[in-house]
Amino acid sequence: MIRQKWACAWFCVFLCFININILAAIPVYGATTKRPSTITPSTKKPVKKPAVIASEPSVSAASAVLMDVETGDILYGKKADTRRPPASTTKIMTAILGLELGRPDEVVTVSPKAAAVGEATLHLDPGEKIILYELITGALVKSGNDACVAIAEHIAGSEEQFVKLMNKKALALGAQNTNFVNTNGLPLKEHYTTAKDLALMARHGLQLPQFAGITRQKTASIHFLEPDVFMDLKNTNKLLTNYPYANGVKTGTTTAAGKCLVASATKEGRQLLVVVLNAPDRFGDAQKLLEWGFEKTETVRLVNAGQAVAEFPSDKKSVRAFIDDPIDVSFPKIKRKDLQTRVVWEKAANSPVRAGERLGHLEVWLGDLKINSVPLLSENEVKGDLLNTLFK
């Protein structure tokens, strides 16, 4: 149910940090609220900043995104929502569903259709048997197109049915500008995604231990059950060899898509994810963006779990509103002064309130961009006048 907005009031604050471990105060309240002791007020109005920062890196990619894996915040974007052919980065979603919908030790029998798929392959033959986990490894490390079709047929009965699941999963992850037509990324007109959507999908994949484990391997060996043979694989992601902090994810190349790369790296405990599409210098672009991210951006704890951040307007009793979960935000350091919060009350002032009831939400803004919105909950109960409640 959509609740009535009673008031939306906000103030801007310059967040001053002595070091990154100091918790930031939240300087924002409703227009008629009293401020709790945990809040430091500010009356300064937000200052609009240019959308592009001069210090942002220049890359060869037609589209690019840099994301903080922990928070999901976008740190850099270049035509991030432009639809483009993804080539073999498609296999990220194929592998995700293979791991989530199948058991790793299931035995897969290769069909004639799967074996007939061309381009980059594992050279599968009809009737060969291999466990699902090994097949997923072949799809991600060696970029086997045939492996993707075999995975799809095993999970959903056909590639067509599996592709429907891929599109549903993409939407569930927030990838609204994606449409898959096949499982491997071979060029088709209506097969497309965006740099931002790929980042959302890859971030989800990295939360799966098996996916993260496979995509960080420089080399791998897979075992066929029938015939009883091993196949050695070399990862197509050269960033794993050339950049010491790299730990994933997937390459892709076709004439239509150009050179593409989804890559992750972890440095000093912080993991970043980069997507570059149609990038002549994909490995150079990815490393440049990752290094820029580690050096020029930061993640801070804005609000602790359970911290009161505002006071709900009530003339009956003090009602402090708190955040249930912590809020961590990631952003370029140069934009730190643009970080601001806004309280939006969804419940009418002076209304009866139940303990734990949602009263509104706290929005986090970076300049003109809203980067987060979380519920504000009541710490305590406020009972209303029974007659007024009945005849309101």
Residues with a known catalytic role: 88, 91, 143
Q: CB under 8 Å, gap of 24 or more: what pairs does 136-139 form?
A: 136/95, 136/98, 136/99, 136/210, 136/214, 137/214, 137/217, 137/220, 137/222, 137/233, 138/222, 138/231, 138/233, 139/91, 139/94, 139/95, 139/98, 139/184
Nearest-angstrom CA–CA distance, 211 and 117: 24
Q: Give me 328's structure tokens.
A: 């961590």
CA proximity to 294, closest of 260, 241, 244, 236 = 244
Question: E strands within 228-368?
Answer: 229-234, 246-254, 258-267, 270-277, 297-303, 308-312, 319-322, 327-332, 339-345, 358-366
Q: Which helix (H) or strand (E) holds 129?
A: strand 129-131
The neighbouring-strand residues paired with 366 are 339, 369
